[in-house]
Structure 1
Amino acid sequence: MSKSYAVLPCNGLDKCAGGISREVALVLSESTDSEIICPVFYRVADVRYNKLAQEKPLLVIDGCATRCASKLAAEKNLKIAEKINITEEAKSRGVALTQSLRLGENEMVMVKEIINKIAKEQGSPDQESDSISLPESLAYEVYKKDKFIFRVPKNSGFYFNENDVWVYVVGNKARVGVTDYVQQSLSDIMFFTPPALGAEIEQFEEVGNIESGKAVFEIISPISGTITAINERLLEAPELINQNPYEDGWIAEMELSDFASDKELILDFEGYFPVLKRKVDEFHV
């Protein structure tokens, strides 16, 4: 691994996930020219760390859903280059985090796997080269309720699940995102936790999450497949989802594994639009 980072880890050392976050940061600092930003000192003496975050790409390592490291980065207006969530990494690997503050064999194996993942992603080709292109012009059907406007794309290739997640399919590839109903319901979206590149996702499994001051929303995949790209712009600017969830605010891209079967359990525009209207009329405030 040649790339070095400014590493901002979780400060929750009273939890296993926080301990793993710290260990990943230590290994990176010992094996590369990466430097650790101490979250405690950063709150009281930020001049040195601001300079460090400007000189090196910022790697944020959150321990759990509280996302203390991400929130500190947002508070300091830092540009996040990469983000890791230890709890999500453990879940994807089937590792049950213990209550012990001492890292055991399973936790140390996970540390090595995360380091290897970071190194592998450094050598990955530019994911934009195979990125999916949406139609030049999206046609929307609009439903209004009070001051709120909810749009749903009508173009061929768009499908939806009843969890208000859309997918646009082109051949054996797909792009996934959340609908207007989600972003309107959450209001100002502040954090985005992406899925791992290369992760194999089953239909109706979580494919990342987004968070506002109101709630954390788990993004339920309408399809099964392998993650080939994430919208890295959302790491720095999750508000793009509020601005346009169907275009700049997309979540991830996938290579499909069994769309013929998946399609039977999701909705096209004609099927989803009545679902949206019912939800808006019954639940939206």
Structure 2
Amino acid sequence: MKVVVQSCCGPEKVYGLVARKAAWILAEQLKPGKVVFTCLPRMAHGDEEARKLVEENPCITIDGCANRCARSVIEQSGGKPIVSVTVVDVLKENRQLMPRIQHLKALDEKGLKLAERVAERLAVEVDYLLEE
């Protein structure tokens, strides 16, 4: 069993970029081999392989904002997010990490730190999910 992480796409939105970076940090740096990504567009278009992945494994969603698009797509695809966070909620606890929008292809230092904070928070959840 692996934990599936799905971040929002949030095109042209800084919090979406933070969510994607947090998912990458979680899967590639903090919990490699234990966490896998899904592709949000594949999920939204009903891809059978992606749907099966979220139906058979515990899911974590990372959304940029309160719209919770990633969570919604996972649920519509038959998955049940066990843990769901928004970047905005984590930012409320870490106001000093408010990212500045320089350009939407890369995060500034605060944005990177915020992504790390989101990923670190979720790494604890991954450990808990895999213990069950």
TM-score by length of 2: 0.80
**Cα separation, 2, equivalents of 1:90 and 1:51:** 32
2:86 is matched with 85
Shift of 1:111: 1.8
Q: Map of 1:167-206 to 2, 5 A cutoff?
A: none
**Cα separation, 2, equivalents of 1:64 and 1:106:** 18
Shift of 1:22: 0.7
TM-score by length of 1: 0.39
The CA RMSD measured in Å over matched residues stands at 2.0
1:117 is matched with 121
Equivalent pairs counted in the alignment come to 122
Contact kept? 1:8, 1:39, Cα under 8 Å: yes
Q: Map of 1:98-137 to 2, 5 A cutoff?
A: 98-100=100-102, 101=104, 102-122=106-126
Name the aligned partner's letter for residue 66 of structure 1: N
Name the aligned partner's letter for residue 12 of structure 2: D
1:30 is matched with 28
Shift of 1:82: 0.8
Shift of 1:56: 2.3
Shift of 1:25: 1.4
Contact kept? 1:90, 1:97, Cα under 8 Å: no
**Cα separation, 1, equivalents of 2:4 and 2:125:** 17
Q: Which runs of 5+ in 2 are unaligned?
A: none
1:16 is matched with 14
Partner secondary structure for residue 98 of structure 2: coil
Q: Which runs of 5+ in 1 are unaligned?
A: 125-285
Write out per-residue CA displacement over residues 214-254 of structure 1, whole angstroms, 9 at most, x where no aligned residue. xxxxxxxxxxxxxxxxxxxxxxxxxxxxxxxxxxxxxxxxx
Task: Say if 1:120 and 1:8 are closer, same or farther in 2 by CA, change over 3 A.
Answer: closer
Identity of aligned residues (%): 25
Contact kept? 2:98, 2:110, Cα under 8 Å: no
**Cα separation, 1, equivalents of 2:64 and 2:51:** 22
* Structure showing the higher helix proportion among its residues: 2
Shift of 1:92: 1.5
Shift of 1:89: 0.8
**Cα separation, 2, equivalents of 1:123 and 1:59:** 12
Write out per-residue CA displacement over residues 83-124 of structure 1, whole angstroms, 9 at most, x where no aligned residue. 110111112111324333220111111222222222234556
Contact kept? 2:18, 2:115, Cα under 8 Å: yes
**Cα separation, 2, equivalents of 1:98 and 1:4:** 34
Q: Which has the larger radius of gyration?
A: 1
Structure 1 range deviating more: 54-63 or 95-104: 95-104
Name the aligned partner's letter for residue 87 of structure 1: V
**Cα separation, 1, equivalents of 2:83 and 2:98:** 24
Higher relative contact order (CA 8 A, sep 6+): 2
Contact kept? 1:17, 1:86, Cα under 8 Å: yes
Q: Which runs of 4+ in 1 moved over 6 A?
A: none
Partner secondary structure for residue 83 of structure 1: strand
1:61 is matched with 62
